[in-house]
């Protein structure tokens, strides 16, 4: 048997896909990632059922980490703009713990991605490019909670997510989207003066320009692997 100690089921709930994978105590993958299209309507009931359906492919686990595409406070959902509105105020931590019979910790998806990506030194900004535009800020490895750049004004009266989310990419095409992304990176550098910018999410594969030396693309699987960090204080 591979790995040892407590096994963590990492879950990444996304606007278009929901993925799961089991990690060992060191955060190493123990199973093949399983994925399902996020069901529509993307309600709590439907998404929890979709996660439960994927679970038999993953074997045993002791605890669960979830990355969720919205603001999360103590397991309770604050916002979920790319899912069904019925998520707001839903206690996902408790509902999933009851369904799976295991302890559950829930965090914002970009925060989880960032926990997997950062070096822990200086100011590190994380953005994710997927259905939505995710963001997370870390100072010497400590998360500054609830940063929601995606819904902050960027240019032409539109937010970062309106300009750079998947709907915009589909509408304007990769060339213009890349030009916008270059502008966004320049704007974020002026705002945060970060030491490093980590760029994650499924649409990083569309990036077609040379990134500045203080920015890099991180693998999307960190949205699952970063889930181990939610248990690090245990
Ligand atoms: C949400 C963020 C999330 C991002 C990526 C945004 O619409 O507001 O909380 O991290 O999408 O999923």
Are the beta carbons of 67 and 112 closer than 8 angstroms? yes
Q: Which pLDDT does position 233 carry in this prediction?
A: 73
DSSP β-ladder status, 76-77 and 72-73: antiparallel
Please state, in angstroms and rounded to a whole number, the distance separating the CA atoms of residues 104 and 82: 22
Euclidean distance between the first and the last CA atom of the chain, given in angstroms as a whole number: 24
Same-domain pairing of 162 and 201: yes
107 and 162, same structural domain? no
CB atoms within 10 A of CB 157: 8
pLDDT of residue 4: 62
Q: In which element (H, E) is residue 65 found?
A: strand 63-68
Asked if residue 36 and residue 48 are part of one domain, the reply reads yes
Residue 86 domain boundaries: 8-111+223-231
Protein residue closest via CA to atom 9 of ligand 1: 70
- What pairing do the DSSP bridges indicate for beta strands 158-159 and 153-155? antiparallel
Measured from CB, residues less than 6 Å from any atom of ligand 1 are 69-71, 79, 81-82, 108-110, 128, 130, 132-134, 148, 150-151, 161
Evaluate whether residue 101 is within a structural domain: yes
Q: Which residues of 15-40 are buried (b: 16+ CB within 10 A; e: fewer)?
A: beebbbbbbbeebebbbebbeeebee
How much distance in Å is there from the Cα of 16 to the middle of ligand 1? 12
d(CA 49, CA 233): 29
> Do 106 and 129 reside in the same domain of the chain?
no
- CA distance linking residue 76 with residue 199, whole number of Å: 26
- For residues 150 and 162, state if they share a domain: yes
Distances in Å between the Cα of 51 and the Cα atoms of 19, 54, 167, 172 are: 8, 5, 25, 33
Q: What is the CATH number for 217?
A: 3.30.420.40
Asked whether residue 3 is domain-assigned, the answer is no
Q: Are residues 121 and 173 in the same domain?
A: yes
Task: State whether 106 and 153 are in the same domain.
Answer: no
Predicted pLDDT at 141: 98
Are residues 187 and 127 both part of a single domain? yes
User: How remote is the CA of residue 209 from the centroid of ligand 1, in Å?
Assistant: 24
Per the structure, how many domains does the chain have? 2
Question: Are 159 and 150 contacting, i.e. CB atoms less than 8 angstroms apart?
Answer: yes
The residue whose C-alpha atom lies closest to atom 4 belonging to ligand 1 is 134
Per run of 10 residues, the mean pLDDT along the chain (length 234 residues) is: 79 97 97 97 98 96 98 97 98 97 98 98 98 98 98 98 98 98 98 98 98 97 97 78
Stated pTM of the model: 0.96
pLDDT at res. 1: 46
Query: Same domain for 13 and 75?
Result: yes
Asked if residue 88 belongs to a domain, the reply is: yes
């Amino acid at each position: 048997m591979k790995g040892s100690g407590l096994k963590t089921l990492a879950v990444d709930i996304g606007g278009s896909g929901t993925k799961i994978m089991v990690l060992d105590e060191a955060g190493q993958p123990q199973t093949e990632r399983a994925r399902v299209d996020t069901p529509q309507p993307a309600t709590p009931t439907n998404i929890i059922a979709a996660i439960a359906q994927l679970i038999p492919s993953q074997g045993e686990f002791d605890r669960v980490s979830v990355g969720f595409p919205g603001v999360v406070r103590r397991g309770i959902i604050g916002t979920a703009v790319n899912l069904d509105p019925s998520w707001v105020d839903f206690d996902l931590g408790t509902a999933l713990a009851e369904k799976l019979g295991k302890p559950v910790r829930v965090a914002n998806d970009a925060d989880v991605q960032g926990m997997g990506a950062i070096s822990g030194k200086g100011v590190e900004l994380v953005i994710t490019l997927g259905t939505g535009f995710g963001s997370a800020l870390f100072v010497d490895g400590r998360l500054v909670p609830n940063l929601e750049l995606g819904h902050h004004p960027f240019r032409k009266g539109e937010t970062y997510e309106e300009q750079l989310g998947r709907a915009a990419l589909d509408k304007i095409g990769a060339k213009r989207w890349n030009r916008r992304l270059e502008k966004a990176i320049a704007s974020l550098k002026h705002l945060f003066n970060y030491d490093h910018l980590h760029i994650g999410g499924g649409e990083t594969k569309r990036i077609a320009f040379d990134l500045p030396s203080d920015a890099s693309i991180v693998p999307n699987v960190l949205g699952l692997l970063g889930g181990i960090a939610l248990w690090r204080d245990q």
